[in-house]
Amino acid sequence: MEPTRTDQHAVVELLDVLLDEGVIIQADIIVTVADIPLVGISLRAAIAGMAKMSEYGVDMSWSGA
Amino acid sequence: MSESPTTAETTATEAVDSGRYLYCLVDLAAGSEETVDIAGIEDEPVSLVTAQSAPVGALVHRREEPFDSTDLTKLRDWLLAHQQVVDAAGDRFGTPLPVRFDTIIEGDDGDVATWLDGHATQITDAFDDLSGCWEYRVTLSWDSAAFETEQQTLDPELSDIQRRIEQSGDGTRFLLEKQFDQRLRELRRQRETALAERLVDRLEPHSERLTERPVQSDAAASLGIELDSDAVTQVALLAPPAAESALGSTLDEITETPGVDVRFTGPWPPYTFAPQISENE
Protein backbone atom coordinates (compact mmCIF):
# COMPACT_ATOMS: atom_id res chain seq x y z
CA MET A 1 0.00 0.00 0.00
CA GLU A 2 1.01 3.62 -0.42
CA PRO A 3 0.71 6.46 2.05
CA THR A 4 -2.07 8.95 1.43
CA ARG A 5 -2.66 12.53 2.48
CA THR A 6 -5.93 13.41 0.92
CA ASP A 7 -8.64 11.37 2.54
CA GLN A 8 -10.89 12.92 5.19
CA HIS A 9 -9.43 11.01 8.10
CA ALA A 10 -5.92 11.97 7.15
CA VAL A 11 -6.82 15.64 7.10
CA VAL A 12 -8.60 15.53 10.45
CA GLU A 13 -5.70 13.62 11.95
CA LEU A 14 -3.24 16.18 10.66
CA LEU A 15 -5.22 19.13 11.99
CA ASP A 16 -5.35 17.58 15.43
CA VAL A 17 -1.58 17.15 15.38
CA LEU A 18 -1.08 20.69 14.12
CA LEU A 19 -2.58 22.05 17.32
CA ASP A 20 -0.53 19.92 19.62
CA GLU A 21 2.80 19.21 18.00
CA GLY A 22 5.42 20.96 16.00
CA VAL A 23 8.27 23.12 17.15
CA ILE A 24 7.47 24.64 20.49
CA ILE A 25 9.33 27.81 21.20
CA GLN A 26 9.96 28.95 24.71
CA ALA A 27 10.75 32.59 24.63
CA ASP A 28 9.45 35.79 26.07
CA ILE A 29 9.00 37.14 22.59
CA ILE A 30 6.28 34.63 21.79
CA VAL A 31 2.84 36.18 21.89
CA THR A 32 0.50 33.80 23.58
CA VAL A 33 -3.06 33.79 24.59
CA ALA A 34 -2.78 34.45 28.29
CA ASP A 35 -4.65 31.31 29.20
CA ILE A 36 -3.51 28.77 26.62
CA PRO A 37 -5.77 25.89 27.69
CA LEU A 38 -8.85 27.96 26.83
CA VAL A 39 -7.72 28.41 23.28
CA GLY A 40 -6.48 24.87 23.06
CA ILE A 41 -9.78 23.46 24.19
CA SER A 42 -11.89 25.53 21.85
CA LEU A 43 -9.68 24.69 18.90
CA ARG A 44 -9.48 21.01 19.77
CA ALA A 45 -13.20 20.79 20.28
CA ALA A 46 -13.55 22.28 16.83
CA ILE A 47 -11.27 19.59 15.44
CA ALA A 48 -13.45 16.93 17.01
CA GLY A 49 -16.35 18.73 15.39
CA MET A 50 -14.57 18.57 12.07
CA ALA A 51 -14.36 14.82 12.37
CA LYS A 52 -18.12 14.85 12.55
CA MET A 53 -18.28 17.26 9.64
CA SER A 54 -16.26 14.94 7.47
CA GLU A 55 -18.49 12.05 8.43
CA TYR A 56 -21.48 14.03 7.28
CA GLY A 57 -19.79 14.67 3.98
CA VAL A 58 -18.93 18.30 4.54
CA ASP A 59 -16.20 19.26 2.14
CA MET A 60 -12.80 18.98 3.76
CA SER A 61 -10.94 18.96 0.47
CA TRP A 62 -7.49 20.37 0.39
CA SER A 63 -5.14 20.50 -2.51
CA GLY A 64 -2.06 19.39 -0.61
CA ALA A 65 -1.38 16.12 -2.35
CA MET B 1 -7.36 42.24 4.57
CA SER B 2 -6.84 40.17 7.69
CA GLU B 3 -9.93 39.48 9.66
CA SER B 4 -10.08 40.16 13.37
CA PRO B 5 -10.90 37.14 15.44
CA THR B 6 -14.24 37.15 17.17
CA THR B 7 -13.90 38.84 20.51
CA ALA B 8 -16.41 36.79 22.44
CA GLU B 9 -13.93 34.09 23.41
CA THR B 10 -10.78 36.16 23.20
CA THR B 11 -10.76 38.11 26.42
CA ALA B 12 -7.43 36.47 27.17
CA THR B 13 -5.86 37.26 23.79
CA GLU B 14 -2.89 39.53 23.81
CA ALA B 15 -2.00 41.72 20.90
CA VAL B 16 1.28 43.41 20.20
CA ASP B 17 2.17 46.40 18.08
CA SER B 18 4.17 44.33 15.66
CA GLY B 19 4.42 40.60 15.23
CA ARG B 20 5.21 37.77 12.86
CA TYR B 21 3.11 34.63 12.58
CA LEU B 22 5.51 31.74 12.29
CA TYR B 23 4.73 28.81 9.99
CA CYS B 24 7.91 26.82 9.95
CA LEU B 25 11.68 26.91 9.91
CA VAL B 26 13.52 25.95 6.74
CA ASP B 27 16.96 24.62 5.98
CA LEU B 28 18.77 26.82 3.48
CA ALA B 29 22.00 24.82 3.37
CA ALA B 30 21.25 23.63 -0.15
CA GLY B 31 20.97 27.18 -1.42
CA SER B 32 18.65 30.01 -0.56
CA GLU B 33 15.78 31.73 -2.23
CA GLU B 34 15.46 35.40 -1.55
CA THR B 35 11.71 35.50 -1.93
CA VAL B 36 8.86 33.06 -1.77
CA ASP B 37 5.52 33.38 -3.47
CA ILE B 38 3.11 31.70 -1.10
CA ALA B 39 -0.22 32.92 0.23
CA GLY B 40 -0.74 32.32 3.91
CA ILE B 41 -3.67 32.32 6.30
CA GLU B 42 -6.36 34.69 5.04
CA ASP B 43 -4.23 35.31 1.96
CA GLU B 44 -1.58 37.22 3.85
CA PRO B 45 1.68 37.26 1.88
CA VAL B 46 4.27 34.96 3.34
CA SER B 47 7.88 36.04 3.43
CA LEU B 48 11.19 34.37 4.22
CA VAL B 49 13.38 35.73 6.98
CA THR B 50 16.92 34.40 6.94
CA ALA B 51 19.45 34.16 9.72
CA GLN B 52 22.82 35.87 9.41
CA SER B 53 24.92 33.27 11.13
CA ALA B 54 23.55 30.00 9.76
CA PRO B 55 21.75 28.75 6.64
CA VAL B 56 18.31 28.65 8.18
CA GLY B 57 15.21 30.72 7.71
CA ALA B 58 11.65 31.19 8.88
CA LEU B 59 8.46 31.60 6.88
CA VAL B 60 6.30 34.31 8.41
CA HIS B 61 3.51 36.74 7.80
CA ARG B 62 2.62 39.93 9.66
CA ARG B 63 0.25 39.29 12.53
CA GLU B 64 -0.28 41.14 15.81
CA GLU B 65 -2.49 38.69 17.67
CA PRO B 66 -3.21 34.96 17.75
CA PHE B 67 -6.01 33.46 15.67
CA ASP B 68 -8.90 32.31 17.78
CA SER B 69 -12.45 31.38 16.96
CA THR B 70 -15.08 28.80 17.70
CA ASP B 71 -16.38 29.08 14.15
CA LEU B 72 -15.59 25.68 12.64
CA THR B 73 -15.37 26.90 9.09
CA LYS B 74 -12.94 29.67 9.95
CA LEU B 75 -10.76 27.35 12.01
CA ARG B 76 -10.70 24.73 9.30
CA ASP B 77 -9.66 27.34 6.75
CA TRP B 78 -6.92 28.73 8.99
CA LEU B 79 -5.49 25.32 9.76
CA LEU B 80 -5.58 24.17 6.15
CA ALA B 81 -3.99 27.44 5.01
CA HIS B 82 -1.26 27.00 7.59
CA GLN B 83 -0.60 23.49 6.34
CA GLN B 84 -0.50 24.59 2.72
CA VAL B 85 2.28 27.03 3.54
CA VAL B 86 4.24 24.32 5.31
CA ASP B 87 3.65 22.02 2.33
CA ALA B 88 4.97 24.63 -0.09
CA ALA B 89 7.99 25.09 2.17
CA GLY B 90 8.63 21.36 2.02
CA ASP B 91 8.48 21.39 -1.78
CA ARG B 92 11.00 24.20 -2.04
CA PHE B 93 13.39 23.67 0.82
CA GLY B 94 13.08 20.01 1.78
CA THR B 95 11.83 18.79 5.14
CA PRO B 96 10.79 21.86 7.15
CA LEU B 97 10.59 22.18 10.90
CA PRO B 98 6.87 22.82 11.28
CA VAL B 99 5.86 25.13 14.08
CA ARG B 100 2.76 24.65 16.17
CA PHE B 101 -0.28 26.53 14.97
CA ASP B 102 -0.74 30.06 16.28
CA THR B 103 2.85 30.86 17.22
CA ILE B 104 3.57 34.54 16.88
CA ILE B 105 6.89 36.24 17.49
CA GLU B 106 6.70 39.76 18.80
CA GLY B 107 8.57 42.26 16.70
CA ASP B 108 9.50 42.59 13.07
CA ASP B 109 11.59 40.70 10.54
CA GLY B 110 14.76 41.85 12.25
CA ASP B 111 13.58 40.41 15.55
CA VAL B 112 12.83 37.10 13.88
CA ALA B 113 16.31 37.07 12.33
CA THR B 114 17.85 37.84 15.71
CA TRP B 115 15.94 34.97 17.25
CA LEU B 116 17.09 32.62 14.48
CA ASP B 117 20.70 33.68 14.97
CA GLY B 118 20.41 33.26 18.71
CA HIS B 119 19.20 29.68 18.33
CA ALA B 120 21.07 28.67 15.20
CA THR B 121 22.80 25.69 16.83
CA GLN B 122 19.57 24.18 18.12
CA ILE B 123 17.92 24.72 14.77
CA THR B 124 20.72 23.31 12.62
CA ASP B 125 21.01 20.35 14.99
CA ALA B 126 17.31 19.69 14.53
CA PHE B 127 17.66 19.76 10.74
CA ASP B 128 20.62 17.38 10.97
CA ASP B 129 18.50 15.02 13.05
CA LEU B 130 15.74 15.05 10.46
CA SER B 131 18.16 14.60 7.53
CA GLY B 132 15.61 14.56 4.73
CA CYS B 133 13.12 12.32 6.48
CA TRP B 134 9.37 12.89 6.66
CA GLU B 135 6.71 11.80 9.06
CA TYR B 136 4.34 8.97 8.26
CA ARG B 137 1.48 7.75 10.37
CA VAL B 138 -0.10 4.36 10.68
CA THR B 139 -3.39 3.66 12.42
CA LEU B 140 -4.19 0.03 13.04
CA SER B 141 -7.79 -0.95 13.64
CA TRP B 142 -9.22 -4.32 14.44
CA ASP B 143 -12.75 -5.65 14.20
CA SER B 144 -12.86 -8.13 17.05
CA ALA B 145 -16.24 -9.76 16.26
CA ALA B 146 -14.88 -12.88 14.57
CA PHE B 147 -12.18 -13.24 17.22
CA GLU B 148 -14.73 -13.08 20.03
CA THR B 149 -16.92 -15.73 18.47
CA GLU B 150 -13.94 -17.98 17.95
CA GLN B 151 -12.69 -17.54 21.51
CA GLN B 152 -15.94 -18.80 22.92
CA THR B 153 -14.98 -22.25 21.77
CA LEU B 154 -11.20 -21.93 21.82
CA ASP B 155 -10.68 -20.41 25.26
CA PRO B 156 -11.09 -23.03 28.01
CA GLU B 157 -12.09 -20.43 30.58
CA LEU B 158 -14.85 -18.97 28.43
CA SER B 159 -16.16 -22.41 27.52
CA ASP B 160 -16.24 -23.32 31.16
CA ILE B 161 -18.16 -20.19 32.17
CA GLN B 162 -20.57 -20.74 29.31
CA ARG B 163 -21.26 -24.28 30.51
CA ARG B 164 -21.89 -23.07 34.05
CA ILE B 165 -24.23 -20.35 32.81
CA GLU B 166 -26.34 -22.97 31.08
CA GLN B 167 -26.61 -24.93 34.32
CA SER B 168 -27.27 -22.06 36.69
CA GLY B 169 -30.20 -20.16 38.14
CA ASP B 170 -30.89 -16.46 37.63
CA GLY B 171 -28.76 -15.00 40.44
CA THR B 172 -25.65 -16.98 39.64
CA ARG B 173 -26.24 -16.54 35.94
CA PHE B 174 -25.99 -12.74 36.31
CA LEU B 175 -22.62 -13.03 38.04
CA LEU B 176 -21.37 -15.60 35.58
CA GLU B 177 -22.32 -13.40 32.64
CA LYS B 178 -20.26 -10.63 34.20
CA GLN B 179 -17.33 -13.01 34.47
CA PHE B 180 -17.83 -14.01 30.87
CA ASP B 181 -17.73 -10.38 29.70
CA GLN B 182 -14.66 -9.74 31.81
CA ARG B 183 -12.80 -12.69 30.37
CA LEU B 184 -13.73 -11.68 26.86
CA ARG B 185 -12.51 -8.15 27.49
CA GLU B 186 -9.25 -9.48 28.82
CA LEU B 187 -8.72 -11.71 25.79
CA ARG B 188 -9.50 -8.80 23.52
CA ARG B 189 -7.03 -6.58 25.35
CA GLN B 190 -4.30 -9.19 25.16
CA ARG B 191 -4.85 -9.53 21.44
CA GLU B 192 -4.83 -5.74 20.96
CA THR B 193 -1.55 -5.47 22.86
CA ALA B 194 -0.06 -8.22 20.69
CA LEU B 195 -1.25 -6.49 17.50
CA ALA B 196 0.23 -3.17 18.61
CA GLU B 197 3.55 -4.76 19.55
CA ARG B 198 3.76 -6.57 16.27
CA LEU B 199 3.07 -3.36 14.35
CA VAL B 200 5.87 -1.53 16.14
CA ASP B 201 8.28 -4.46 15.70
CA ARG B 202 7.58 -4.66 11.96
CA LEU B 203 7.82 -0.91 11.33
CA GLU B 204 10.88 -0.12 13.45
CA PRO B 205 13.46 -1.57 11.04
CA HIS B 206 12.26 0.85 8.34
CA SER B 207 12.10 3.94 10.55
CA GLU B 208 14.64 6.45 11.81
CA ARG B 209 12.41 7.15 14.76
CA LEU B 210 9.05 5.83 15.86
CA THR B 211 6.56 6.63 18.55
CA GLU B 212 3.14 5.33 19.49
CA ARG B 213 0.41 7.93 19.80
CA PRO B 214 -2.95 7.81 21.56
CA VAL B 215 -5.70 6.79 19.18
CA GLN B 216 -8.18 9.35 20.38
CA SER B 217 -7.66 13.01 20.99
CA ASP B 218 -8.52 14.29 24.44
CA ALA B 219 -11.03 16.72 23.04
CA ALA B 220 -12.83 14.07 21.06
CA ALA B 221 -12.91 11.79 24.09
CA SER B 222 -14.30 14.49 26.35
CA LEU B 223 -17.03 15.21 23.84
CA GLY B 224 -17.87 11.55 23.49
CA ILE B 225 -16.80 11.43 19.89
CA GLU B 226 -14.89 8.41 18.68
CA LEU B 227 -12.72 9.34 15.78
CA ASP B 228 -11.97 5.74 15.00
CA SER B 229 -13.86 3.25 17.15
CA ASP B 230 -11.97 0.12 16.14
CA ALA B 231 -8.55 1.74 16.35
CA VAL B 232 -6.07 -0.20 18.43
CA THR B 233 -2.97 1.92 18.10
CA GLN B 234 -1.43 4.70 16.10
CA VAL B 235 2.21 5.07 15.23
CA ALA B 236 4.08 8.12 14.00
CA LEU B 237 7.39 7.40 12.36
CA LEU B 238 10.19 9.32 10.73
CA ALA B 239 11.57 7.82 7.53
CA PRO B 240 13.05 8.80 4.17
CA PRO B 241 10.69 8.67 1.17
CA ALA B 242 12.74 5.73 -0.11
CA ALA B 243 11.33 3.65 2.74
CA GLU B 244 7.71 4.08 1.62
CA SER B 245 7.75 0.96 -0.47
CA ALA B 246 9.07 -1.26 2.32
CA LEU B 247 6.66 0.29 4.80
CA GLY B 248 3.78 -0.31 2.41
CA SER B 249 4.71 -3.95 1.86
CA THR B 250 4.99 -4.54 5.59
CA LEU B 251 1.56 -3.05 6.13
CA ASP B 252 0.08 -5.14 3.32
CA GLU B 253 1.28 -8.24 5.16
CA ILE B 254 -0.14 -7.02 8.44
CA THR B 255 -3.59 -6.54 6.93
CA GLU B 256 -3.65 -10.23 6.02
CA THR B 257 -4.60 -10.92 9.64
CA PRO B 258 -8.40 -11.33 9.81
CA GLY B 259 -10.19 -8.23 11.08
CA VAL B 260 -7.12 -6.01 10.85
CA ASP B 261 -7.13 -2.83 8.82
CA VAL B 262 -4.48 -0.18 8.47
CA ARG B 263 -4.51 3.48 7.49
CA PHE B 264 -1.19 4.77 6.19
CA THR B 265 -0.80 8.52 5.78
CA GLY B 266 1.99 10.85 4.77
CA PRO B 267 4.46 12.17 3.96
CA TRP B 268 3.86 14.91 6.52
CA PRO B 269 6.18 17.57 7.86
CA PRO B 270 7.59 16.09 11.05
CA TYR B 271 5.26 17.63 13.62
CA THR B 272 5.60 14.75 16.03
CA PHE B 273 9.40 14.82 15.93
CA ALA B 274 9.90 18.56 16.06
CA PRO B 275 11.97 19.84 18.95
CA GLN B 276 11.27 22.32 21.65
CA ILE B 277 13.53 25.31 21.21
CA SER B 278 14.56 26.62 24.56
CA GLU B 279 16.14 29.82 25.69
CA ASN B 280 19.48 28.12 26.32
CA GLU B 281 21.46 27.94 23.12
Residue A48 pLDDT exceeds 70: no
Chain B positions touching A10 (Cβ under 8 A) are 263, 265
In A, minimum Cα distance to B68 occurs at: A39
Predicted confidence at residue B182, as pLDDT, reads 95
**Is B219 a residue whose pLDDT tops 50?**
no
Report pLDDT for A35: 39
The reported pLDDT for the residue numbered B15 is 77
pLDDT number for residue B68: 78
pLDDT at A37 (0 to 100): 41
Q: Who among B99, B225, B262 is closest to A52 (CB)?
A: B225
Listed by number, the residues of chain A in 20-59 with a beta carbon closer than 8 Å to a beta carbon of chain B are 20-27, 29-35, 38-39, 41-53
Q: What is the mean pLDDT of residues B211-237?
A: 69
Tell me which chain B residue has its CA closest to the CA of residue A15.
B79
Interface of B with A in 196-225 (CB under 8 A): 217-220, 223, 225
- pTM for the predicted model, two decimal places: 0.80
What does the alpha-carbon distance between residue A23 and residue B131 come to, in Å, rounded to a whole number?
16
C-alpha closest to that of A16 among B268, B237, B210? B268
- Mean pLDDT (chain B, rounded): 86
Say whether B279 and A26 touch across the interface (CB within 8 A). yes
Cα(B19)–Cα(B112) distance, integer angstroms: 9
B76:A15 CB<8 A: yes
pLDDT, average across residues B232-237: 93
The count of CB pairs under 8 A between chains A and B is 186
- Exposure class string for A11-36: b at 16+ Cβ within 10 A, else e: bbbbbbbbbbbbbebeeebbbebeee
Asked whether residue B226 carries a pLDDT value surpassing 60, the answer given is no
pLDDT in tens, B87-123: 999 988 999 999 888 888 889 999 999 999 999 999 9
